[in-house]
Amino acid sequence: MNMALDMAMTQVVAEGHVLPTLRVYRWRPWAISLGYHQAENEVDVDRCRLDNVDVVLRPTGGRAILHAEELTYAVSIPPGPAFSGDIQSVYSIISRCLVASLDLLGINVGFERARKTPKDFTRGELSSLCYASSVQYEINIGRRKLVGSAQRRIQGSVLQHGSILIGDAHLALVDYLAAKNGAWRERVKQYMIKNTISLNQVSPQVTYEALARALHDGFQRELGIEFVQTQNDDVELERARQLAPRFSILNNSSYGQ
């Protein structure tokens, strides 16, 4: 339903029914989201079912993320003078807003081109994990990745959403990947420990609520705008309910809860 809401929100923004939108949310139960072009068989669905972890497709590309101890943001923007550039240009604008938001929490982050997959891994070994490698500019602390994001154009509008790590539960993702042995899992987990970072590692007092407020204020400040706070309207909710089966792989809960 979260992925369907992001898609529905972007569609109604593209149609002019809703203003450009920033949505923030978290996941209950925890869930693994796969990039739109990833295969379901990359995940051990039976293990996810046993542990009450949902599995969904995203409407965007990218790689697998375990949504646990994090905040997910979604931005939907129609075509316009400020957001008419290419994917990287829009990504850069939204990333500056994220950097400004984290600065309000006293957290100094970097924004740089992602490094290549390290030589001690083959090209395909990390291909399933968003937080193991990236091809876009990424937000980091001490060159350790903090935010994983993906973007897509839908009916001319932009949908960009991503995961901001608050705690370290994302490291458990390797336990849910299919057809991997214990030695591989441990090696990749150690790589992720070395190359990712959560907000609570540098600022233990940061909560979901504090981060959500910082995003609200940081986007306003960086873009020179003022938000109008609303809930998803009936049109968005109904469209999302219709779209939800498209993104569902394993659903441990009921739509609409």
**Domain regions of the chain by residue span:** 2-245
The two structure tokens encoding residue 52: 């009450």
Take residue 19 and report the two structure tokens written for it.
Answer: 């203003």
The tens digit of pLDDT for each residue in 72-117 reads 999 999 977 656 667 778 888 999 999 999 999 999 998 876 555 5
What pLDDT does 135 receive? 46
Task: Give me the helix-helix angle, 234-247 and 2-14, nearest 10°.
Answer: 130
Average pLDDT (238-256) is 86
Distance CA 91, CA 89 (A): 5
pLDDT value, residue 84: 62
Q: Catalytic site residues?
A: 130
Say yes or no to pLDDT of 252 above 70: yes
Sort strands 54-57 and 31-34 into parallel, antiparallel or unpaired: parallel
Nearest CA-CA partner of 128 in 188, 194, 54: 188
Q: Contact at 8 Å (CB) between 19 and 228?
A: yes
Span 224-237, pLDDT tens digits: 999 999 998 899 99
Q: What are the b/e assignments for 95-128, b being 16+ CB within 10 Å?
A: bbbbbbbbebbebebeeeeeeebeeebeeebbeb
Instruction: Say whether domain 2-245 belongs to CATH 3.30.930.10.
Output: yes
User: How many angstroms separate the CA atoms of 148 and 222, rounded?
Assistant: 20
Q: What element of type H or E holds 32?
A: strand 31-34
Which position has the token pair 């500056």?
Answer: 96
The gap from C-alpha 122 to its chain's centroid, in whole angstroms, comes to 25
pLDDT score, position 257: 39
Question: Residue 75 burial by CB count (10 A; 0-12/13-18/19+): exposed, middle or buried?
Answer: buried
Q: What pLDDT does 178 receive?
A: 87
Residue 9 pLDDT: 96
| Separation CA 161–CA 139 (nearest Å) | 14
Look up residue 99 and give its two tokens: 């950097």
